[in-house]
């Protein structure tokens, strides 16, 4: 990974901040020394290359500490009960506590906002996805969704081979995608957005762009 700054000291400081370590622990190669140029023209920044040794296990500790600090300043009485590896590309975050229901909000609107915020922060900074559980909200939503999707598969997919779910809000679309991909590994299963609403479409793998959908 390359890091650029006006001076070498600044570049090393950026690297230390990214890796959450001291400057003395950084193993870096200088790619380009800084230069002021001639009369302020053609100036060059310092560029160093570091080994991005951040693994998901170390990352979960950092994220948990950051989340604890964040919620200590909030008005919600909750605790970060778990931050762990969900899979090779996803971090699992679980929040519990007295105000968990308030953090979820009516019909999950606060949950969706927080999930979006955490995803953008963690994915942009560390490159990992996020699976957020607040109390048992995610588990409950998934269980409710399974009944509908069982009906959808039996009544729509099995008779015709293709179909489209009803509009699904927020995290429900991604849960449905996960469930249907497990249920129908031989099918193409993807998310389609239309007029601001998300649907899951199912079809044959070779014809997923053919426009087959259930109105």
Express as a percent the part of the chain with pLDDT over 70.
Answer: 93
CATH architecture for the domain at 56-135: 2-Layer Sandwich (3.30)
Q: What is the pLDDT of residues 6-42, one digit of tens each?
A: 999 999 998 888 777 788 878 899 999 999 877 667 7
Q: Decide: pTM greater than 0.75.
A: no
Write down the domain spans for the chain. Answer: 2-50, 56-135, 138-207
Q: Which of 133, 170, 156 is nearest to 191 (CA)?
A: 170
Q: What is the pLDDT of residues 126-182, one digit of tens each?
A: 778 899 999 999 999 999 999 999 999 999 999 999 999 999 988 899 999 999 999
Express as a percent the part of the chain with pLDDT over 90.
Answer: 66
- 211 has pLDDT over 70: no
Question: CA-CA distance, 6 to 48, in Å (whole number)?
Answer: 11
Contacts of 202 (CB under 8 A, 6+ apart): 157, 162, 163, 164, 180, 184, 187, 188, 189
Which strand (E) or helix (H) includes residue 174? Answer: helix 171-183
Q: What is the CATH number of domain 138-207?
A: 3.30.1370.180
- 89 has pLDDT over 90: no
Q: What is residue 58's predicted lDDT score, i.e. its pLDDT?
A: 79
């Amino acid at each position: 990974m390359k890091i650029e700054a006006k001076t070498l000291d600044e570049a090393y400081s950026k690297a230390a901040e990214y890796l959450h370590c001291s400057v003395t622990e950084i193993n870096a190669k200088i790619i380009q020394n800084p230069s002021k140029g001639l009369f302020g023209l053609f100036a060059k920044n310092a560029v160093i290359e570091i080994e991005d040794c951040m693994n998901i296990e170390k990352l979960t500790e950092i994220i948990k500490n950051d989340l604890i600090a964040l919620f200590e300043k909030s008005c919600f009485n909750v605790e970060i009960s778990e931050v762990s590896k969900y899979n090779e590309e996803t971090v699992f975050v679980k929040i519990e506590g007295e105000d968990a229901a308030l953090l979820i909000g009516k019909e999950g609107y606060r949950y969706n906002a927080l999930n979006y915020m955490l995803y953008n922060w963690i994915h942009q900074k560390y490159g990992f996805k996020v699976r957020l559980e607040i109390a048992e909200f995610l588990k409950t939503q998934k269980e409710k969704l399974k009944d509908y999707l069982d009906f959808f598969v039996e009544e729509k997919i099995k008779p015709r081979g293709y179909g489209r779910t009803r509009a699904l809000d927020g995290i429900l679309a991604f849960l449905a995608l996960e469930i249907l991909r497990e249920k129908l590994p031989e099918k193409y299963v993807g998310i389609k957005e239309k007029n601001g609403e998300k649907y899951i479409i199912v079809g044959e793998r070779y014809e997923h762009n053919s426009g087959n959908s259930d109105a």
